[in-house]
Amino acid sequence: MLLKKIRQTIARFGMLQGGEGVVVAVSGGVDSMVLLHLLVRLREPLALRLHVAHLDHGLRGEEGERDARFVREQAAFLALPATVERIEVKRETGCSLQETARKVRYQFLDRVAESVGASKIALGHTQDDLAETFLINLLRGSGVRGLAGIPPIREGRIIRPLIGTSRQGILAYARAHEIFFVVDSSNVKADYLRNRIRLQLLPVLAEYNPRIVRCLAQAALIFREEEAYLSLLVRERLASILVKPEGGEPALHIPTLQELPLALKRRILREAFGLLGGLSLSFERVAALEDLLTGPSRGQLSLSGGFVALRDGEILRFVRQKPPKAVDEVLPLPSEGEAKL
């Protein structure tokens, strides 16, 4: 039953075309182990070349080492090639340790896929993960893009075949097929927001709606479909708003931008900022940009990533601030008394 459902998910989102190399990210937990076993069952009918990948972030001590050994043993049992590595993750400036670990993990998976010639990377995110992400972003005040949650397929390479399957269904499959897995003790600690949502909030919501996980995942899918359409609309409109002043970088034509509905205007500001080198804009920064557009004909606004928005009449540009030049002039100091710099 679950195998049929996974095949339907793969077909629905065009995850696999057959004859492809697939790196399977395996943590050793029940989700990734069930994913691995399902892909092994699909290996022959879809002519897949599977490669197991596991990364120990060096954050969980002996438990992390145990998981690495387990994944290596399971890959050998299934006669699958595997890449198991350990990388000591250190927090980056401006990022949480979890965000840094996630970044390192994706870099590792990309590197493995490149080295083995795989066109896809399969992750074990489930319907429950999608529901949890929806609630996390809702609590943070996210818009449509955030509420769309985890994409079933990203950049044509990252695929999530279990995204439509509940964790309850995955556990039932693991029991029925006697699939071994390890348990990450950090998942049962209420130290992180996601864990508190899983352990505390979702059980309360289930009292109001026993199908809450499925309903939240369905809402996320609806937002994702609308997000896809809105993104297409934004790209089409942006082409008519971008201008290139003589000798300058691409910029936005403010009068044309101001003719658009507010929701579309905000999206175009975010899209343009990303295209011109920026990363992301908070709701507060977008609101400040709106004020810049309606204020005096000249002005500027500091943005994230060292960027500045510059308004010059009917033109809005995003430019990166240059770091101050180091002073390399040598100044003589008096042999006696004080000197002011």
Instruction: Produce one character per residue of 302-311: b if its CB has 16 or more CB atoms within 10 Å, e if not.
Output: ebeeebebbb
| 62 and 182 co-located in one domain | yes
- pLDDT recorded at residue 91: 63
Q: Residues with Cβ < 8 Å from 230, sequence gap 6 or more?
A: 144, 267
Q: Which residue has the higher pLDDT, 101 or 84?
A: 84
Residue 145 is assigned to a structural domain of this protein: yes
Residue 52 main-chain phi, psi, to 5 deg: -85, 135
Describe the strand order of the beta sheet including 21-25 as a list of residue ranges: 82-86, 49-56, 21-25, 120-122, 158-159, 153-154
| 251 and 217 co-located in one domain | no
| 179 and 44 co-located in one domain | yes
- pLDDT recorded at residue 222: 95
Q: Which stretch, 82-96, 183-197, 209-223, 291-305, has highest mean pLDDT? A: 209-223
Q: Residues with Cβ < 8 Å from 158, sequence gap 6 or more?
A: 120, 121, 123, 151
Q: Is residue 340's pLDDT more than 80?
A: no
**Cα–Cα dist 8/11, whole Å:** 5
261 band by pLDDT with thresholds 50, 70 and 90: very high
Q: Which stretch, 32-41, 221-230, 268-277, 330-339, has highest mean pLDDT? A: 32-41
How many CB atoms are located within 10 Å of the residue 5 CB? 15
Residue 66 main-chain phi, psi, to 5 deg: -60, -45
What's the pTM? 0.83
How many CB atoms are located within 10 Å of the residue 161 CB? 28
Percent of the chain at pLDDT above 90?
65
Element (DSSP H or E) covering residue 255: helix 254-258
CATH code for position 198: 3.40.50.620
Cα–Cα distances (Å) from 93 to 42, 90, 96, 99, 282, in that order, read 42, 10, 8, 11, 18
Partner residues linked to 309 by β-bridges = 301, 318
Residue 116 is assigned to a structural domain of this protein: yes
| 71 and 169 co-located in one domain | yes
Q: What mean pLDDT is reported for the chain?
A: 89
pLDDT in tens, 124-163: 999 999 999 999 999 998 889 899 999 999 988 999 999 9
Weakest-pLDDT range from 36-45, 208-217, 268-277: 268-277
| 55 and 179 co-located in one domain | yes
Domain count, the chain: 2
Residue 227 is assigned to a structural domain of this protein: no
Residue 279 is assigned to a structural domain of this protein: yes
| 70 and 196 co-located in one domain | yes
Q: Which residue has the higher pLDDT, 92 or 180?
A: 180
Instruction: Tell me, rounded to whole angstroms, the distance of Cα 127 from its chain centroid.
Output: 16
pLDDT in tens, 228-258: 999 999 999 998 899 876 666 778 999 999 9
Residue 149 is assigned to a structural domain of this protein: yes
CATH code for position 286: 3.30.465.60
pLDDT in tens, 70-92: 999 999 999 999 999 998 877 65
Domain end position, chosen among 161, 188, 221: 221
For helices 262-275 and 212-241, give the axis angle rounded to 10 degrees: 80
Weakest-pLDDT range from 152-161, 216-225, 313-322: 313-322
Residue 332 is assigned to a structural domain of this protein: no
| 170 and 254 co-located in one domain | no
